[in-house]
Amino acid sequence: MIGRITALKERFRQLYDANPQAVTKGPGRIDLMGHHTDYNDGFVLPVAISFEVLAAGRLRDDRTIRAYSSNFDSMAEFCLDDIAFDRVNTWSNYLCGMLVYLKEAGVELRGADLAIEGNVPVASGLSSSAAIEMAVGTLFQALLGFEMSGADLALIGQRAENKFVGINTGIMDQFISRLAQKDHALFLDCRTLACEQVPLDTGKTKIVVCDTMKRRGLVDSEYNLRRAQCEEAVRLLSQWIPGIKALRDVTPADLEMYQDRLPEVVRKRARHVISENARVLAGREALSQGRIEDFARLMDESQDSAREDYETSCFELDAMAGAARSAPGGMCSRLIGAGFGGANASLVREEFVDDFLAVVPERYRVKTGIEPRLYVCTAEAGAGVVES
């Protein structure tokens, strides 16, 4: 990261003829467990990773925001009193949304010159959007000195993405990007927003992201359909289980008792969500006790459930899971993000990482004809100031 910070500061000086007052980071994330449980008021277990967005900034004496993206080599400029959706520099809308809802929360904003650079792979399910939101939010907090909890900043990031950018995400991505601790996963209750740091030593066990290079299709329509099917399951089950508000309130024993009364597709969707919540709870316990092999088994079960019951996997994700599970040091492999393409995450024993990186791409190419990309990750701390 040091070399990237140096390069970003140099670019900042070239653009604005001044040094930045602060540089911040917002990390990407992997959802180790909790596939489509968030909108069912369930549990998730993500981890922040060693790929992040960097943001450098310096305050101005007016109301102008000038923001440069090194990834897109483009500049966006606007007034804080007239923040509008940018249909040309679409990357800047995550920044704009953060400023809109920081202002709504009562923060007295000032103009600033910004430069942003990220190495979070886009469209791989690693939440580059939350990374930029938390990098920018943390930067303005550093520049302006206002008090705000990490949870509240994460909620502003979610509002920015939901209401300004127009993407209907849950709260997991922003929470882990802001609140993560190094060598820990974050257990999050999506109903109460209660969270707990759970130890995950990525010194001995690496997380390897295996990007299938299959870009996700039909995510929006299928996401909305899955959500409707879960709501239908709750509506039907509430006839026999009074007081339930979401599938989070239904136990595996409840489903076993009433599943024959549900339509087949609705039953499958409910079975995935209910069993996935149980896996997250079991996974939290396994990590807390250092039982990494048990946690890996649960990750494999999560992938199998996503394929068979939630039907959010695809040929490429399945092929990658098969290649990774059988590779040297490969302990498990599970899709990350929404599914329908994107990437898998594998836990790999540290001493076998090089062998894993050599074997998996070849096995995947043979099966799919596609050249994948693999990234070795560690569990890192959440958004914060890296230089001031």
Active site amino acids? 173
- Here the tokens at position 310 are 């939630």
* DSSP H or E run through 278: helix 264-288
In angstroms, the CA 58 to CA 79 distance is 16
Q: Which residue has the tokens 């690496």?
A: 206
In Å, what is the CA distance from 341 to each residue of 146, 203, 233, 249, 283?
40, 29, 26, 30, 24
In angstroms, the CA 371 to CA 374 distance is 10
In angstroms, the CA 41 to CA 58 distance is 40
In angstroms, the CA 8 to CA 5 distance is 5
Cβ neighbours of residue 317 closer than 8 Å, sequence gap 6 or more: 212, 214, 303, 307, 335, 339, 341, 342, 344
The C-alpha R_g of the chain, in whole angstroms, comes to 21
Cβ neighbours of residue 294 closer than 8 Å, sequence gap 6 or more: 282, 286
In angstroms, the CA 337 to CA 373 distance is 16
Q: How far apart are the first and last CA of the chain?
A: 15
